[in-house]
């Protein structure tokens, strides 16, 4: 008889999970700045839990754990913005955007911890690109890097494009992002005419991607922001992608599409719009398909293989995974074995 | 049996039997000395403040930083003495038999 068969490879999928990863650390899009007025407060679900998103009277955004440190009332149900603070409906304890308790309207003696540290978990926030961003770290550590300057989003003139969209995927951010280095799937899933060469370089929380020798040049900033520049037909069009981890197994992909503000009727403007159509879905005269038409069926059903069977011609998947691991903190041995 | 001599806020003294294995605060609270013990031993309310008899004070376990911070927060409202303690931080056992304490004023 022949050699013993390798049962491990035949049976391994039984123990695999679809998204074995915790929520990664980094800056994440929360909402568009114009969607939250001064004095407004509402509940949002992100990073696997509910948060209370609010904007103070002076315009500062805040995002807090919902449950008052005093007696646990949910501040997103009946709480209010009170000047620069969020106020709990239950006993009117007030907190600033950094989570410090600023008012206990009846206690004479302030509990020492109230003077010593923030007692309400809040997330560091910045407003940039016309959006609110929050820094997520599972153990409340401060941000270790800053969001970049993006001319397409921040220069007052020279760029245009109001097109944007949101898509929900039933998987985690790492699985979505891995497609950026999985070049072979561009040919077989998307129908590109060839497998494009890819170069990925890593620098701390940043990754630079060059797909097809300058055809797509990507700047990745942690798990929550990608800026992909598509150079085609003599123009550059930009996809700014800012995916949110709704939970460990659900992600909302958000994208803004921007291009140079060419005059109406020019071939450059037409080319810019066509490149953007192509990024998203099917575009006339193009052989390959954008992510909307083909990637979701894979993301929404696959399992994650920590020990994939890769062959020559596959992209730098393992290097990408090693880089991405920096965004997970305090992993226990059981989780490490799964990722 | 652990008997503790307690001077109340009016200056009257009486002996109470303290329960071993629980914080002194609970005995004082349940014996009607006007000790609230509102926070249950979390050192955030300061309502179980007592003055320990000077001879006994060094024999108790030292204050933690959190206890010291709570006592300090009381200083704006009531007299603090070197022997000031939160009675919730004093576990009762046989070695405390004969301990003498005075209930500090309310804030």
The CA angle B90-B92-B98, to the nearest 5 degrees, is 105
Comparing CB atoms, the residue among B44, B46, B77 nearest residue A113 is B44
pLDDT of residue A126: 98
Of the pLDDT bands very low, low, confident and very high (cuts 50, 70, 90), residue B1 is confident
Residues A78, A159, single domain; the answer is no
Residues A171, A117, single domain; the answer is no
Residues A258, A321, single domain; the answer is yes
Contact criterion met (CB below 8 Å) for A30 and A46: yes
Residues A300, A238, single domain; the answer is yes
Question: B69 phi and psi, to 5 degrees?
Answer: -65, -40
Residues A78, A216, single domain; the answer is no
DSSP conformational letter for A14: G
Cβ–Cβ below 8 Å for B73 and A108: no
Residues A32, A114, single domain; the answer is yes
Residues A118, A249, single domain; the answer is no
Of 3.40.50.150, 3.10.20.30, 3.40.50.880, 3.40.50.2300, the CATH number of B2-103 is 3.10.20.30
Cβ–Cβ below 8 Å for B45 and A111: yes
Residue A150 scores a pLDDT above 60 = yes
CATH code, domain with A329: 3.90.380.10
pLDDT of residue A288: 74
Of the pLDDT bands very low, low, confident and very high (cuts 50, 70, 90), residue A284 is low
CB pairs < 8 Å spanning A and B: 27
Answer whether residue A159 is part of any domain: yes
Cβ–Cβ below 8 Å for B46 and A113: no
Dump pLDDT digits (tens) for B46-98.
Answer: 999 999 999 999 999 999 999 999 999 999 999 999 999 999 999 999 999 99
Contact criterion met (CB below 8 Å) for B89 and B43: yes
Residues A197, A259, single domain; the answer is yes
Contact criterion met (CB below 8 Å) for B15 and B100: no
What number is the average pLDDT over the span A118-137? 98
Comparing CB atoms, the residue among A108, A112, A116 nearest residue B107 is A108
Residues A285, A221, single domain; the answer is yes
DSSP conformational letter for A303: -
Contact criterion met (CB below 8 Å) for A74 and B5: no
Comparing CB atoms, the residue among B66, B72, B77 nearest residue A108 is B77
Answer whether residue A7 is part of any domain: no
Cβ–Cβ below 8 Å for B73 and A113: no
Q: What is the ipTM of this complex?
A: 0.85
The whole-chain average pLDDT of chain B stands at: 96
Going across the sheet that includes A94-95, the strands are: A80-82, A85-87, A94-95, A101-103
Q: Which of A311, A281, A316, A314 is nearest to A296 (CA)?
A: A281
Q: Which of B2, B107, B6 is nearest to B53 (CA)?
A: B6
CATH code, domain with A77: 2.102.10.10
Comparing CB atoms, the residue among A109, A112, A115 nearest residue B107 is A109
Dump pLDDT digits (tens) for A290-331.
Answer: 777 789 999 999 999 999 999 999 999 999 999 999 999 989
Dump pLDDT digits (tens) for A5-61.
Answer: 999 999 999 999 999 999 999 999 999 999 999 999 999 999 999 999 999 999 999
Answer whether residue A30 is part of any domain: yes
Residues A105, A156, single domain; the answer is no
Number of domains in chain A: 2
Residue A98 scores a pLDDT above 80 = yes
Of the pLDDT bands very low, low, confident and very high (cuts 50, 70, 90), residue A282 is low
Answer whether residue A145 is part of any domain: no
Cβ–Cβ below 8 Å for B72 and A108: no
Residue A1 scores a pLDDT above 60 = no
DSSP conformational letter for A148: P
Dump pLDDT digits (tens) for A216-238.
Answer: 999 999 999 999 999 998 999 99
Of the pLDDT bands very low, low, confident and very high (cuts 50, 70, 90), residue B13 is very high
Cβ–Cβ below 8 Å for B69 and A109: no
Residues A164, A286, single domain; the answer is yes
Whether the CB of B48 is below 8 Å from some CB of chain A: the reply is: no
For residue B7, give the H/E element and its range.
Answer: strand B2-7
Distance (Å, rounded) from C-alpha A3 to C-alpha A293? 43
pLDDT of residue A283: 64
Domain range for A46 is 26-136
Residue A278 scores a pLDDT above 90 = no
Beta-sheet strands, E only, within chain A:
26-32, 41-46, 49-55, 61-64, 80-82, 85-87, 94-95, 101-103, 125-128, 131-136, 159-160, 164-169, 198-203, 206-211, 216-221, 225-232, 235-241, 244-247, 250-260
Answer whether residue A161 is part of any domain: yes
The whole-chain average pLDDT of chain A stands at: 94
3-class SS of residue A105:
coil
Whether the CB of B77 is below 8 Å from some CB of chain A: the reply is: yes
DSSP conformational letter for B32: T
pTM to 2 decimal places: 0.91
Interface of A with B in 99-118 (CB under 8 A): 108-113, 115-116
Answer whether residue A122 is part of any domain: yes
Shortest alpha-carbon distance between residue A108 and chain B (Å):
8
């Amino acid at each position: 008889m022949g050699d013993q068969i390798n049962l491990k490879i035949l049976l391994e999928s039984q123990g695999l999970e679809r998204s074995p990863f915790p929520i990664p650390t980094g800056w994440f899009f929360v909402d568009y700045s114009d969607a939250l007025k001064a004095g407004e407060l509402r509940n949002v679900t992100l990073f696997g839990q509910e948060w209370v998103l609010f904007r103070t009277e002076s315009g500062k955004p805040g995002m807090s754990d919902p449950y008052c440190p005093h007696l646990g009332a949910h501040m997103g149900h009946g709480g209010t913005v009170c000047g620069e603070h969020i106020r709990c409906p239950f006993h009117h304890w007030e907190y600033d955007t950094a989570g410090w308790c600023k008012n206990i309207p009846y206690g004479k003696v302030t509990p020492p911890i109230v003077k010593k540290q923030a007692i309400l978990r809040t997330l560091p926030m910045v407003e940039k690109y016309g959006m609110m961003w929050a820094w997520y770290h599972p153990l409340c550590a401060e941000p270790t890097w800053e969001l970049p300057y993006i001319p397409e989003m921040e220069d007052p003139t020279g760029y245009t494009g109001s097109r944007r969209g949101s898509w929900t995927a039933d998987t985690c951010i790492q699985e979505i992002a891995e497609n950026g280095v999985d070049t072979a799937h561009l040919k077989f899933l998307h129908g590109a005419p060839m497998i494009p060469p890819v170069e990925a370089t890593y620098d701390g929380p940043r990754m630079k991607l060059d797909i097809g020798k300058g055809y797509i040049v990507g700047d990745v900033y942690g798990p929550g922001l990608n800026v992909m520049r598509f150079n085609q037909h003599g123009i550059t069009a930009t996809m700014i992608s800012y995916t949110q981890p709704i939970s460990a197994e659900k992600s909302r992909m958000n994208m803004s599409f921007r291009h140079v503000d060419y005059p109406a009727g020019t071939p450059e403007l037409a080319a810019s719009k066509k490149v953007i159509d192509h990024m998203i879905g099917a575009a006339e005269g193009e052989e390959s398909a954008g992510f909307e038409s083909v990637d979701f069926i894979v993301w929404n059903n696959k399992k994650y293989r920590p020990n994939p069977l890769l062959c020559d011609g596959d992209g730098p998947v393992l290097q990408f995974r090693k880089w991405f691991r920096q965004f997970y903190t305090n992993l226990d041995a059981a989780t490490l074995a799964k990722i | 049996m652990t008997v503790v001599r307690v001077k109340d806020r009016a200056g009257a003294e009486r002996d109470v039997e303290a329960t071993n294995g629980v914080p002194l605060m609970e005995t004082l609270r349940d014996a009607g000395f006007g000790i609230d013990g509102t926070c249950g031993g979390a050192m955030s309310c300061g309502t179980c403040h007592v003055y320990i008899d000077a001879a006994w004070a060094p024999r108790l376990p030292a204050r933690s930083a959190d206890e010291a911070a709570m006592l300090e927060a009381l200083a704006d409202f009531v007299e603090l003495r070197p022997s000031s303690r939160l009675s919730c931080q004093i576990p009762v056992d046989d070695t405390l038999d004969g301990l003498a304490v005075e209930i500090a004023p309310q804030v």
